[in-house]
Amino acid sequence: MQIPILARYLSASLLWALLLGSCTTTTTFEVASPSTASPPTSKPFTLPQDGSFSYHLFDVVPSYTFVGAIKNYEHDSLIGTGVLISPDVVLSAAHVVDDTSMHNLEWVEVDGKTSCIKKIVYYSSLLDNKWHDIAILFLESRSDKVPCIMFDNDTDFVYKHMPLTTVGHGHGLRRNSNPGIFRYYGRLVLSPRFMIMLPLRDTVWHGDSGGAILTDDNKLIGIVSHYVSTKDGRIFENVGSSIEYYREWIESHVPTLSD
């Protein structure tokens, strides 16, 4: 008997203690990106005392500085995560920014520097009548951080069970996964736009949406999208939007990436 599954999307609405922004630019929504998913209710969370926590918290010593927070500055709330791929361009999950009432969006870096998000571009669902969980965010000002390098289908190698690292803001904590937590499983023939990770000892969570999925040489191979669980809540898959699938579309909007 087939086990019913629940695809749980990770957009968070967690309070985030960062400086208030002052954006005045209205976000432009170029293509409708419908999402019928609702984020699950956050569960109480405390760090274990036995040292078994499977994520490294890096607020004190910043790392992966190309990863930042997507924030609604008006409500001082964390919406999700994004990945800098060009000095003024960020990738995130579409469901993080698909609420057209969220015009007060801001990109917040690890050192507290902020930029208004002036335009958002979605992958058009009209092309194949499927839901695509990826968005390109254009910043009002350029970042001084070094952008993340995207996975290149022509030169980079991927294999089953390859170790992966996730970087995001799950549970409202800026963090990256420790080695051995996630492994690459593959992309399904019927849904090649998504890549599957096996969560061996932990899972992505609320706030990680839009975050980076990195290869062992820190190439961006995916954008955190959602997890899949059984009806009784057991998580058996973590899912990301595949850079392998979307790279050509991304480069069509950010031509400098192909230089």
Give the domain ranges of the chain: 13-31+58-147+246-258, 163-242
CATH 2.102.10.10 for domain 163-242, yes or no, is no
Spatial distance between the Cα atoms of 29 and 36, rounded to a whole number of angstroms: 18
- CATH number assigned to the domain with residue range 13-31+58-147+246-258, chosen from the 4 options 3.40.30.10, 3.30.2080.10, 2.40.10.10, 1.10.510.10: 2.40.10.10
Q: Over range 85-108, report the average pLDDT.
A: 84
> Would you say the pTM of this structure is higher than 0.85?
no
> What is the residue type of 224?
V
The alpha-carbon radius of gyration of the chain (Å, integer) is 17
Question: Would the pLDDT of 30 be above 90?
Answer: no
Q: What is the pLDDT of residue 68?
A: 95
d(CA 165, CA 218): 8
Check if the beta carbon of residue 178 is closer than 8 Å to that of residue 55: yes
Q: Length of the chain, please? A: 259
Q: How confident is the model at residue 25 (pLDDT cuts 50, 70, 90)?
A: very low
Model pLDDT, residue 102: 54
Average pLDDT over every residue of 80-86 = 96
How far is the C-alpha of 78 from the C-alpha of 214, rounded, in Å?
22
The rounded distance, in Å, linking the Cα atoms of 45 and 124 is 36
In this structure, what are the phi and psi dihedrals at residue 201, rounded to the nearest 5 degrees?
-130, 0
- Express each pLDDT in 45-64 by its tens digit: 344 444 444 566 555 456 89
Query: Would you say the CATH fold of 163-242 matches that of 13-31+58-147+246-258?
Result: yes
Integer CA distances (angstroms), 138 to 79, 119, 177, 179, in order: 17, 5, 27, 32
pLDDT computed for residue 226 by the predictor: 84
User: Residue range 219-237: average pLDDT?
Assistant: 84
